[in-house]
């Protein structure tokens, strides 16, 4: 994990920032009683809110409802309600059910339904039963706590094997601020969307416009550089709620304060991106591909994403085989403009680093050393195009028997 | 298999057309003595020749040499030499070795080196040993036979489990013509290239310009609509050799004769595409996705390709699970312009057909019937966008444990 001066990792996830409470429970959507399936995040005061959504033409009903709500409030919200097990997508009454989830939460919290963001994840194309949610909305809201982040983070998990929470503390204008988030997502993850569900909260005081700008910029170099399987989901959403309770002067333009905030957002989002990649369905290894020496950043992003998406490379990493030809092949079919004959490739991990390709051609290397490097569970593929100064990182995972098993099973 | 009036399937592969001989043998590139690894196709007379190549920036040395040869002769050739086990790509002396393969064949056949097309398939980034080829070039050429197609077709196989040969007979202007081909390719197969190695021969008399036009048009709707794993190889090539020995008047423009020829090319190439998909690495099922009702053909192609490429759908087909939400999801992220709310989806096989989605939403269906349909080994996914008259088909296969096994194994 990279170290950033002046930023400190803290516990608390979405409850790390001042004035955010959360709760999660099992309402019966998931028959496994021990697995939470419904959660809520509530803010003490109205929050400036930014969001990015899936680019899939098939959009889950919760996406439509959330978009409408943020449009009607002009970018404000006070709560998030989310469920797992059913995506509430491609069914007859999805919009109605998503609206109902918001109304139920709003009534309990004493706020307007339009101030609620709604999200669902799970199987596509089935009717969402609203009864379980209706029955449990009261205990869900009554149980809201400033330390309820974990029960919420586990409620959005589907095939995830670990919960994903990150939070950091930093200082703006002498005041301590915090920003934290939770995420879920394991399969159906691919660039050009904002990965399944991600909720971020902060007590930084920042305009909706600057919040949206920071979120869109950071999404481009974090979540949108993540691929587990090349499938772009229908329900992906990242949203950030900023309640301003740190009582710093409002950030309304670019400058030093904005940069501090944006870096905090990058730390949390890139860290969650790594966690999502590492917990990809069936994954045994994280693959982190950095493309440096690119003429422009867009080119670096395209190349890095092309590499982490290659099924052949993913299988080779699973097999711990330094099959660099597959890396160069994936660099070669990346749709970007560069000279392939200048490309260098190194493979690295905490066990060391080896050069496998120089000027687009193979160089001799020790297979034993390569094997040792690839036996670690976090693998770096470092590409240098040697034709510029731009760089980017993309995150993925290996392709394993378990990915096939998980997704070959009936209606997972 | 579709029936085409006036076209008859015949045996003989690349030797089906008049005036083409072939041979294949094991020269020692492959340590398994029973597995052919080197082949040659020779034409009795100079042939008008068209080719399409991989779009990967990393191009195998044989691609470069073949392109140069066809450029220097102005689109003529008399022979093809090809090897498996080593792709002769991303190494120090690839061009030199590819040129040597041509010179060796040319010397034996008494033709110019520029009249030889060369192709290699196998591992990337290793030096191609020329000695085995040099030692066996004489028996290879001496063994040329008008029934040698099978020994040639097996020589280009890598992880292929079956040889791929198709040939048809048809009539142009009262004369019997033939067109046949052989192909290989199992992994590293994806749209936007011409699939690994494909050689087609015909005795039709047609100009190089019209031959190239037909090949490019048909490639777009056959090989370029095939995806096994989304990886575009570095060495892909399709080439067609037309020797004119059927003694029909030369086809030099569009018209009835050109259409007959083009349909023959479509039959052979689409049939080989199906064979390639069905023999995808680790595949147990062929997936054939047809998108109809599209506003333009480009849209139909994009949608059909998006579906057969989805790893989640491929796993579901392997698991015989009618998870239509994954189909609609892949339709939704296809980068084409259409209204998702009009989309219908049916799943079919020789065991029947069921509607699973109407107007972009799920419809009730019998899971038992779905299971019965999906238990067959050739699965059709029929999508109707209901917003036009254009259509296209794409071919793929399921994603299985064996794909992971084959590609996780050391340097396959």
Encode pLDDT of A320-351 as tens digits.
988 888 898 889 888 899 999 999 999 999 99
More confidently predicted of B412 and B291: B291
What band does A187 get if pLDDT is binned at 50, 70 and 90? low
Judge whether residue B194 has pLDDT over 70: no
Residue A186's pLDDT is what? 65
Which residue in A49, A66, A89, A195 is the catalytic one? A195
Chain centroid offset of residue A255 CA: 26
More confidently predicted of B129 and B160: B129
Asked if A68 and A100 count as a contact pair (C-beta separation under 8 A), the reply is no
Q: Maximum distance among all alpha carbons in chain A?
A: 68
Is the pTM for the entire model greater than 0.80? no
Judge whether residue A75 has pLDDT over 70: yes
Chain centroid offset of residue A2 CA: 18
Q: Give all domains of chain B, ordered by start, each with its CATH number.
A: 8-278 (3.60.70.12), 286-408 (3.10.20.340)
DSSP string for A323-391: -HHHHHHHHHHSSS---GGG-EEEEEETTEEEEEEETTEE----HHHHHHHHTSSEEEEEEE-SS-SEE
User: Are A409 and B124 within 8 A, CB to CB?
Assistant: no
A322, A333, A405, A409: best to mutate for the B interface, most B CBs within 10 A: A333
Please list the active-site residues of B. 195
Q: Is B45 on the interface with A (CB under 8 A)?
A: no
Mean of pLDDT over chain B = 89
What share of chain B in percent tops pLDDT 90? 62
Would you call A290 a catalytic residue per the annotation?
no
| pLDDT average, residue stretch B201-227 | 87
Taking a contact as any Cβ pair under 8 Å apart, which residues of chain A between 249 and 278 contact chain B? none
**What does each C-alpha distance from B279 to B161, B192, B276, B287 come to in angstroms?**
7, 19, 5, 11
For helices A311-318 and A324-333, angle between their N-to-C axes, nearest 10 degrees:
160
Judge whether residue A410 has pLDDT over 80: no
User: Which of A90, A360, A362 shows the shortest C-beta gap to B362?
Assistant: A90
Give the integer Cα–Cα distance in Å for A189 and A14.
22
Residue A2's pLDDT is what? 47
What band does A191 get if pLDDT is binned at 50, 70 and 90? very low
- Classify A411 in phi/psi space as left (phi over 0), alpha (psi -120 to 50) or beta: left
Alpha helix (H) ranges present in B223-287? 256-278
**What does each C-alpha distance from A63 to A306, A398, B325 come to in angstroms?**
28, 30, 17
Question: Residues near B31 by Cβ (< 8 Å), separated by ≥ 6?
Answer: none
User: Which of B187, B316, B332 shows the shortest C-beta gap to A234?
Assistant: B332
A361 interaction partners in chain B (CB closer than 8 Å): 90-92, 125
As a dihedral over the C-alpha atoms of residue B242, residue B247, residue B252, residue B253, rounded to 10 degrees, the angle is -110
Judge whether residue B118 has pLDDT over 70: yes
Q: Is B341 on the interface with A (CB under 8 A)?
A: no
Question: Residues near B317 by Cβ (< 8 Å), separated by ≥ 6?
Answer: B285, B287, B374, B379, B398
User: Which of A56, A233, A329 shows the shortest C-beta gap to B124?
Assistant: A329
Q: Strand, coil or helix: what is A284?
A: coil
User: Are B188 and A329 within 8 A, CB to CB?
Assistant: yes
Residue of B nearest to A313 (CA): B407
Tens of pLDDT, residue by residue over A351-399, are 999 999 999 888 899 999 999 999 999 999 999 999 999 999 988 889 8
Residue B32's pLDDT is what? 93
Other Cβ atoms within 10 Å of A169 Cβ, number: 18
Q: How far is B370 from chain A (nearest CA, A)?
A: 12
For residue B20, the cross-strand partners are: B43
Give the integer Cα–Cα distance in Å for A180 and A12.
7
Q: How long is chain B?
A: 412
Q: What is the ipTM of this complex?
A: 0.70
Residue of B nearest to A325 (CA): B124
Q: Is A370 on the interface with B (CB under 8 A)?
A: no
Structure tokens at B336: 């084409």
As a dihedral over the C-alpha atoms of residue A52, residue A55, residue A56, residue A61, rounded to 10 degrees, the angle is 30
Burial of B54 (0-12, 13-18, 19+ CB in 10 A): buried
Tens of pLDDT, residue by residue over B370-407, are 999 999 999 999 999 999 999 999 888 898 888 888 77
Q: Is A311 on the interface with B (CB under 8 A)?
A: yes
User: Are B230 and A230 within 8 A, CB to CB?
Assistant: yes
Q: Maximum distance among all alpha carbons in chain B?
A: 68
Q: Is A355 on the interface with B (CB under 8 A)?
A: no
Asked if A281 and A407 count as a contact pair (C-beta separation under 8 A), the reply is yes
Residue B199's pLDDT is what? 87
Asked if B177 and B279 count as a contact pair (C-beta separation under 8 A), the reply is no
Range scoring the smallest mean pLDDT among A252-256, B222-226, B373-377, B391-395: B222-226
Give the integer Cα–Cα distance in Å for B273 and A83.
43
Residue A317's pLDDT is what? 93
What band does B299 get if pLDDT is binned at 50, 70 and 90? very high
Tokens 């085995």 correspond to B132
Other Cβ atoms within 10 Å of B6 Cβ, number: 11
**Strands (DSSP E) found in A272-331:** 286-294
Give the integer Cα–Cα distance in Å for B404 and B279.
15
Give the integer Cα–Cα distance in Å for B287 and B148.
32
User: Are B360 and A325 within 8 A, CB to CB?
Assistant: no
As a dihedral over the C-alpha atoms of residue B84, residue B90, residue B95, residue B98, rounded to 10 degrees, the angle is 0
Give the integer Cα–Cα distance in Å for A120 and B254.
55
| pLDDT average, residue stretch A204-225 | 88
Other Cβ atoms within 10 Å of B353 Cβ, number: 13
User: Are B90 and A410 within 8 A, CB to CB?
Assistant: no
| pLDDT average, residue stretch B73-78 | 94
Asked if B53 and B237 count as a contact pair (C-beta separation under 8 A), the reply is yes
Q: Is B319 on the interface with A (CB under 8 A)?
A: yes
Burial of A278 (0-12, 13-18, 19+ CB in 10 A): buried
What phi and psi values does residue A252 have, to the nearest 5 degrees? -125, 5
Judge whether residue A188 has pLDDT over 60: no
What band does B229 get if pLDDT is binned at 50, 70 and 90? low
User: Are B319 and A403 within 8 A, CB to CB?
Assistant: no
| pLDDT average, residue stretch A217-238 | 75
Q: How far is A103 from chain B (nearest CA, A)?
A: 25
User: Are B360 and A312 within 8 A, CB to CB?
Assistant: no
B406 interaction partners in chain A (CB closer than 8 Å): 315
Chain centroid offset of residue A375 CA: 26
Asked if A120 and A235 count as a contact pair (C-beta separation under 8 A), the reply is yes
Asked if B80 and B119 count as a contact pair (C-beta separation under 8 A), the reply is yes
| pLDDT average, residue stretch A312-318 | 90
Asked if B315 and A407 count as a contact pair (C-beta separation under 8 A), the reply is yes
For chain B, the helix, strand and coil percentages under 3-state DSSP, each to the nearest 5: 35, 30, 35
Over its C-alpha atoms, chain A yields an Rg (Å, rounded) of 21
DSSP 8-state class, residue B381: E
Give the integer Cα–Cα distance in Å for B367 and B372.
9
Residue A41's pLDDT is what? 96
What band does A405 get if pLDDT is binned at 50, 70 and 90? confident
User: Are A58 and B360 within 8 A, CB to CB?
Assistant: yes
For helices A297-309 and A311-318, angle between their N-to-C axes, nearest 10 degrees:
60
Residue B231's pLDDT is what? 61
User: Which of A125, A324, A404 shows the shortest C-beta gap to B315?
Assistant: A404
Range scoring the smallest mean pLDDT among A288-302, B30-44, B273-287: B273-287
More confidently predicted of B263 and A281: B263
Burial of A284 (0-12, 13-18, 19+ CB in 10 A): middle
Judge whether residue A196 has pLDDT over 70: no
**Nearest alpha-carbon partner for A80 in A144, A129, A159, A30:** A144
Q: Is A111 on the interface with B (CB under 8 A)?
A: no
Other Cβ atoms within 10 Å of B340 Cβ, number: 18
Residue B4's pLDDT is what? 66
Q: How far is A332 from chain B (nearest CA, A)?
A: 4
| pLDDT average, residue stretch A166-176 | 92
More confidently predicted of B330 and A150: A150
Asked if A347 and A325 count as a contact pair (C-beta separation under 8 A), the reply is no
Judge whether residue B335 has pLDDT over 80: yes
What band does A295 get if pLDDT is binned at 50, 70 and 90? very high
| pLDDT average, residue stretch B186-190 | 57
User: Which of B321, B329, B332 shows the shortest C-beta gap to A410?
Assistant: B321
As a dihedral over the C-alpha atoms of residue B127, residue B148, residue B217, residue B389, rounded to 10 degrees, the angle is -120
Structure tokens at A108: 């309990």
DSSP 8-state class, residue A86: B
User: Are A56 and B401 within 8 A, CB to CB?
Assistant: no
Alpha helix (H) ranges present in B29-181? 61-73, 94-109, 131-142, 149-155
Structure tokens at A105: 């939460």
User: Are A403 and B234 within 8 A, CB to CB?
Assistant: no
Asked if A82 and A39 count as a contact pair (C-beta separation under 8 A), the reply is yes
User: Are A329 and B234 within 8 A, CB to CB?
Assistant: yes
Strands A237-242 and A197-202: parallel
User: Which of A311, A334, A403 shows the shortest C-beta gap to B230?
Assistant: A311
User: Are B315 and A408 within 8 A, CB to CB?
Assistant: yes
User: Are A58 and B187 within 8 A, CB to CB?
Assistant: no
User: Which of A315, A357, A361 shows the shortest C-beta gap to B92?
Assistant: A361
Chain centroid offset of residue A286 CA: 15
Range scoring the smallest mean pLDDT among A278-287, A381-390, B7-16, B224-233: B224-233
Q: Is A284 on the interface with B (CB under 8 A)?
A: no
- The winner for highest mean pLDDT among A141-155, A257-271, B387-401 is A141-155
DSSP 8-state class, residue B250: P
Output the CA angle A203-A47-A165, nearest 5 degrees. 55
Q: Is A86 on the interface with B (CB under 8 A)?
A: no
Residue of B nearest to A316 (CA): B408
């Amino acid at each position: 994990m990279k170290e950033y001066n002046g930023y400190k990792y803290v516990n608390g996830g979405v409850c790390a920032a001042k004035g955010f409470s959360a709760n999660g429970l099992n309402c019966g959507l998931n028959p496994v009683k021990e697995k939470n399936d419904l959660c809520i995040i509530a803010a003490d005061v109205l929050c400036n809110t930014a969001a990015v959504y899936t680019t899939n033409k098939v959009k889950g009903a919760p996406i439509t409802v959330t978009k409408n709500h943020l449009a009607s409030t002009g970018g404000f919200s006070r709560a998030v309600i989310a469920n797992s097990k059913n995506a509430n997508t491609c069914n007859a009454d999805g919009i109605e059910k998503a609206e109902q989830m918001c109304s139920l939460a709003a009534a309990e919290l004493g706020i307007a339904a339009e101030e609620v963001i709604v999200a669902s994840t799970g199987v596509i194309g089935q009717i969402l039963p609203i009864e379980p949610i209706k029955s449990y909305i009261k205990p869900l809201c009554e149980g809201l706590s400033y330390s309820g982040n974990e029960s919420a983070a586990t409620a959005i998990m589907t095939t995830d094997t670990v919960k994903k929470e990150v939070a950091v503390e930093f200082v703006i204008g002498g005041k301590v601020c915090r920003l934290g988030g939770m995420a879920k997502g394991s399969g159906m993850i691919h660039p050009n969307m904002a990965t399944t569900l991600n909720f971020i909260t902060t007590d930084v005081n920042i305009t909706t416009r600057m919040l949206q700008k920071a979120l869109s910029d950071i999404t481009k170099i974090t979540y949108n550089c993540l691929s587990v399987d090349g499938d772009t989901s229908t329900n992906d959403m990242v949203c950030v709620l900023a309640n301003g309770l740190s009582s710093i002067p409002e950030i309304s333009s670019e400058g030093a304060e904005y940069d501090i905030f944006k870096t905090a957002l990058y730390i949390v989002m890139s860290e969650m991106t790594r966690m999502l990649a590492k917990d990809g369905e069936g994954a045994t290894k994280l693959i982190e591909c950095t493309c440096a020496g690119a003429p422009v950043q867009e080119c670096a992003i395209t190349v890095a994403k092309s590499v982490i998406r290659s099924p052949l490379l993913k299988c080779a990493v699973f097999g711990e085989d330094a099959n660099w030809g597959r890396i160069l092949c994936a660099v070669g079919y990346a749709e970007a403009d560069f000279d392939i004959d200048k490309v260098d490739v190194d493979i690295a991990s905490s066990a060391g680093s080896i050069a496998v390709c120089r000027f687009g051609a193979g160089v001799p290397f020790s297979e034993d050393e390569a094997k040792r490097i690839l036996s670690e569970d976090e693998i770096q593929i470092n590409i240098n195009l040697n034709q510029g100064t731009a760089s980017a990182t993309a995150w993925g995972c290996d392709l394993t028997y378990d990915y096939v098993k998980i997704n070959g099973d009936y209606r997972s």
